[in-house]
Amino acid sequence: MSFLAGNSVLPDESARQPGFLRRHAGIWPGIVLAAIIAAAAISIRELPGLGIFSPMILAVIVGIVFSNSVGTPANTAAGIAFCQRSLLRFAIILLGFQLTAAQLVSIGPAGIGIAVASLVATFCFTLGLGRLLGVDRKLTELIAAGTSICGASAIVATNTVTQGRDEDVAYAVACITAFGTVAMLGYPLVAPLFGLDQHHYGLWAGTSIHEVAQVIGAAFQGGPQAGEIGTVAKLARVAMLAPMVIGLGLLARRGSAGAGGARPPMPWFVVAFVAVVAFNSVVEVPAEVESSIALVATALLTMGLAAMGLQTDIRNIRLRGLRPLLLALSAFVFIAGFSLALVTLVA
């Protein structure tokens, strides 16, 4: 009898367990699925010819293919949403460990000026052309951010205030993948036509190509000095992610308040990103630790983009038509030409 009585207490004791495990138990199936997709993307990258793509880009593609062919189980929804939001934001914070103030200074005032001018001009050009073409404002902002700042990471960060649909994010990522790859393969071929030395070529690549991996792939084709300058110039653009997203957040909050709608949340994780950059600038983090953090950031970004792909319905992407693609192409041509002109005239 006492044995039965003892057993009867177990359900009550389980109910009194710490609430964290109960509240978050439902996210694990989605996290595991996103991790599997991310691992598949990292593995696929080892195949011949695919090493030029970042694992984040491949994760989006694999996620889209999986969700639109096999489908995602209903019990994975909470975990996928967690990867899309919390994991991605934490990964962007970790990107701050790849930046220091000294790195930004190393490309000189002219280099920083070219990076800033190219970013601002491209962003404004893309927004204006998007209106003329009739492209949805949210999708236009994502394409503008991905082209002018730092590819997929910028698209994800910008979407926290833009609040576009998953299909918008996937479309924007697909565009920066396509045109960033064209730039990565084409820049080394056309650079001799403009008579660029290693310094100018690296600066051009770093201030105009979309993804960090694409910049590295293109810049080092021009030589070691070009590779180093290109990488630092690209990181200078990454540093501008914070003020750009905060500025968009303030504009979105002001517009929503004026319209009487709910105000979009401020991207406080971007403030944390700035704090990490400041910390990394004054505290010398061991190289081994920085390398480990970079691997974790890449893994989390890959999982987050895999989750994005898992939530994407390709039929909705088709409905967007060719106008957003034309917008992304025009933005790509603009930033390449604008930054080349500045590098040639100013640097």
Digit-coded pLDDT (tens) for 179-195:
887 888 889 889 989 98
With cut-offs at 50, 70 and 90, classify the pLDDT of residue 13: very low
265: number of Cβ within 10 Å: 12
pLDDT band at 35 (very low <50, low <70, confident <90, very high): very high
Q: How high is the pLDDT of residue 296? A: 92
Global pTM value: 0.69
Cβ(246)–Cβ(220) below 8 Å? no
Find the mean pLDDT for residues 29-39: 94
Using CA atoms, how far apart are residues 91 and 154, in angstroms rounded to an integer? 12
- Residue located via tokens 């949210």: 138
Which residue is listed with tokens 């790509």? 332
Average of pLDDT values for 25-33? 87
pLDDT at 39: 94
Average pLDDT over residues 240-252: 79
pLDDT at position 55 over 80: yes
Closest CA to 36 of 320, 272, 318, 309: 309
Identify whether the C-beta of residue 45 lies closer than 8 Å to the C-beta of residue 298: no
Q: Provide mean pLDDT across the span 76-82.
A: 90
Higher pLDDT, 149 or 19: 149
pLDDT score of 282 = 92
CA distance 174 to 166: 12
pLDDT, average across residues 323-327:
93
Q: Residue 33: which of 69, 68, 83 has the closest Cα?
A: 83
Rounded to the nearest integer, the mean pLDDT of the chain is 82
Sign of the torsion formed by the C-alpha atoms of 119, 238, 267 and 312: positive
295, pLDDT greater than 50: yes
Instruction: Please enumerate, as own/partner, the contacts of 95-98 that have beta carbons within 8 Å and a separation of 24 or more.
Output: 95/153, 95/238, 95/273, 95/297, 96/272, 96/273, 96/274, 96/275, 96/276, 96/277, 96/279, 96/280, 97/276, 97/280, 97/285, 97/290, 97/293, 97/294, 97/297, 98/235, 98/238, 98/290, 98/294, 98/297
Given a cut of 90, whether residue 7 has pLDDT beyond it is no
Give the per-residue pLDDT at 23: 56
Predicted confidence band of residue 24 (pLDDT cuts 50, 70, 90): low
Q: What are the Cα distances from residue 85, in Å, to 33, 159, 211, 274, 304? A: 16, 10, 21, 19, 8
pLDDT of residue 252: 67
Signed CA dihedral, 10, 15, 17, 21: sign only:
positive
